[in-house]
Chain A
Amino acid sequence: MIEVENLRKAFGDIQAVDGVSFTARDGEITGLLGPNGAGKTTTLRMLYTLMRPDAGQVLVDGISTASDRLAVRRRLGVLPDGRGLYKHLTARQNIDYFARLHGLSAGDAQRRREALIEMLEMADFADRRAEGFSQGQRVKTAIARALVHDPKNVILDEPTNGLDVMATRRMRRFMLDLRAEGRCVLFSSHVMQEVAQLCDRIVVIARGRVVADESPDALRRETGESNLEEAFVKIIGSEEGLAA
């Protein structure tokens, strides 16, 4: 479970994140939806402890990111915004590197790695060097190495960005698998359809603030739009009304 309370972060004069609060529960998929530049990536970076918030706090399974960064990291599996692989290493070696950094034993690392390779359908390229991987293969490898320590909480920053239709469908199925395993899945996206299809809960962010935090159905009900896309546009467009 990830709890976010009143998170704030400024870069110079720009208030990138301006009081964001929400909760992502175990066994649910929580979608962080917002236009580009809304503050999604910055919010996530504070969750996975790469950035320190100016104010507010983040609790991962009850542990504060401010008090024990390393303990929080052990409980998180993260596909960050930057997802570069080591091009001279094979997919398997890329995964093993992170497994070792997590301090996994060789046996555990191997078991977990092979399970992820099967789950993500990576077998046909697992022993090829990452140089020349397709976008889909790169994302799969990046996810596999992020989840090699079997984390309870999974954060994915725009996981379907740049993927083709087939790869996107597989990615969505994979996220549903993670939910079925009882994990807390939090992902960001600017694709409305994707969020509508997958999420148990949608957190809409615009200009660094949370403008809606509902289930998809409630969101449709409240905006009076049967189409979630219309609902989304309405929320972003009528921000003043919502705040009141």
Chain B
Amino acid sequence: MNASLTVFVKEVRENLRERRTVLNAVFTGPLIGPLMFMVLVNVTVSRQLDEAEAPLALPVIGASRAPNLIEALRQQGFEPQPPVADPIAVVRNQDAVAVLRIPDSFGDAWRTGDPAPVELYYDSSRRDTDQPVTRLKAMIESYSHRTGAMRLVARGLSPTVSNPVLVAERDQSTPRSRAGKLFSILPYFFVLTVFMGGMYLAVDLTAGERERQSMEPLFINPVAPWRILLGKIGAICVFSLSSLLICAIAFPVAARFIPTEKLGIALDLGPAFVLEVLVLMLPLVLLVAGLQTLVASFSKSYREAQTYLSILMLVPVLLSVLLTVLPVKTAEWMYAVPLLGQQLGITELLVGGSVTARQLGTCMLSGFIVAALMLAITARVYDSERLAISA
């Protein structure tokens, strides 16, 4: 039997008996993403929906100075709460999200037709402030606008005088493209799964084997080091591929538990999507296995290798964050950059666009070329005399 195949079979068989490795490859690695995704989206969505529908209850100081305003707010779903003595302290202590204060001067200003002041106390650095404050402001502005229009009519002017420009919104987003924006994190989960699925194995098969002192006897066999490497890479790929497969199937299942209609979005994660994701990710599986093995073979111990590989996992995170923050216009060449190509491709599939055969080809070809280079470098390291010797 071919030596690489021998190594491959032995590594797969032995590691199937390693509970942590198997759990990581079939459970933690691939399922954390979909689960987190499902829970996060559900929690966020239901909170936002709740907040938007629930009556807005905030303390009001001096409500009696502007009974009409308060009544108008009440009609829009505002529930004025009893006044507080010190609005600044209340907001600081987070006893209320915001406090509305109607100053003494409100009545006089209203009667003379000057802008009547109301004060809104809040802390914009707090997470839950945004929505109630925006809602309350919109309510007040709507009342202000209505009153203004009525004043204009009373003076015999058309209310449109105060609206010289009218914005008509023509939103070109579709339910699917909105889904793409919301789920821009999704490609990252696929990449992460590939990193996680093979990580323990990559560490174990090089740094671990050396630490357990079985590398030296292994390398004394009449087998070229690159053949041993090939077998080990194959074993790593089998584990990370299984992770990827499970992850790719779990996402569509998780997506069923997301209230897509309430969000006004559409998700189509059918078999075609799963298949295309798998194909796009294929070169990355090999590339990551090579990279992880390379890093592990430079590490002096199991622990050191694990630390380095955890740091390595931040690279796709960084890329994901950058892609989310920077508005990048997709260019054809980007498909030739491993990792970037996968991110773009999966995002494109998600928003209902299609990845052309050329884009797919570019992504696969360049991915496999880089992976082959990575394997060649790793093979060189495997050939060095220091690799097999522990301590």
Binding site for B on A (CB under 8 A): 45, 48-52, 70-71, 73-74, 76, 78, 80-89, 97-98, 100-103, 142, 145-146
Contacts and interface: CB of A to CB of B under 8 A. Distances in A.
A50 B14 contact: no
Interface string B204-227: 000001001111111111111000
Contacts of A78: 217, 220
B12 to A, nearest CB: 12
Contacts of B7: 101
Nearest to B228: A101
A220 B389 CA distance: 37
A76 B224 CA distance: 16
Given A50-B385, A82-B214, A82-B215, A88 B17 contact: yes
Contacts of A87: 212
A142 B14 contact: no
12 contacts: A49-B220, A50-B220, A52-B385, A70-B222, A78-B220, A84-B213, A88-B17, A98-B217, A100-B6, A101-B221, A142-B217, A146-B217
B221 A50 contact: no
B1 interface: yes
Task: State which size class the interface on B falls in.
Answer: 20 to 34
Contacts of B215: 82, 84
Interface of B: 1, 3, 6-7, 10, 14-15, 17-18, 209, 212-224, 385, 388-390
Nearest to B1: A100
A82 B389 contact: yes
A48 B214 CA distance: 15
B6 A97 contact: yes
B384 to A, nearest CB: 10
Given A50-B388, A50-B389, A86-B14, A101 B217 contact: no
A160 B321 CA distance: 58
B222 A102 contact: yes
A82 B6 contact: no
Contacts of B219: 50
A221 B379 CA distance: 52
Contact of B10 (A48, A97, A146): A97
A196 B385 CA distance: 33
B390 A98 contact: no
Nearest to B390: A82
Nearest to A155: B220
A98 B388 CA distance: 16
Contacts of B224: 70
Given A86-B10, A101-B6, 17 more contacts: A50-B385, A50-B388, A52-B385, A70-B223, A73-B220, A83-B216, A84-B212, A84-B213, A88-B15, A98-B217, A98-B221, A100-B1, A101-B221, A102-B221, A103-B1, A142-B217, A146-B220
Contacts of A84: 209, 212-215, 217
Nearest to A73: B222
A121 B115 CA distance: 102
A80 B216 contact: yes
A76 B17 CA distance: 32
B216 A82 contact: yes
Given A78-B220, A98-B221, A100-B6, A85 B214 contact: yes
B213 A88 contact: no
Contacts of A142: 217
Nearest to A96: B10
Nearest to B210: A82
Given A51-B385, A101-B3, A102-B222, A80 B14 contact: no
B216 A50 contact: yes
Contacts of B220: 48-50, 73, 76, 78, 80, 146
A45 B216 CA distance: 10
Contact of B14 (A48, A52, A89): A89
A45 B219 CA distance: 11
B230 to A, nearest CB: 13
A80 B17 CA distance: 27
Given A51-B385, A78-B217, A82-B214, A101 B14 contact: no
A97 B3 CA distance: 10
A146 B3 CA distance: 16
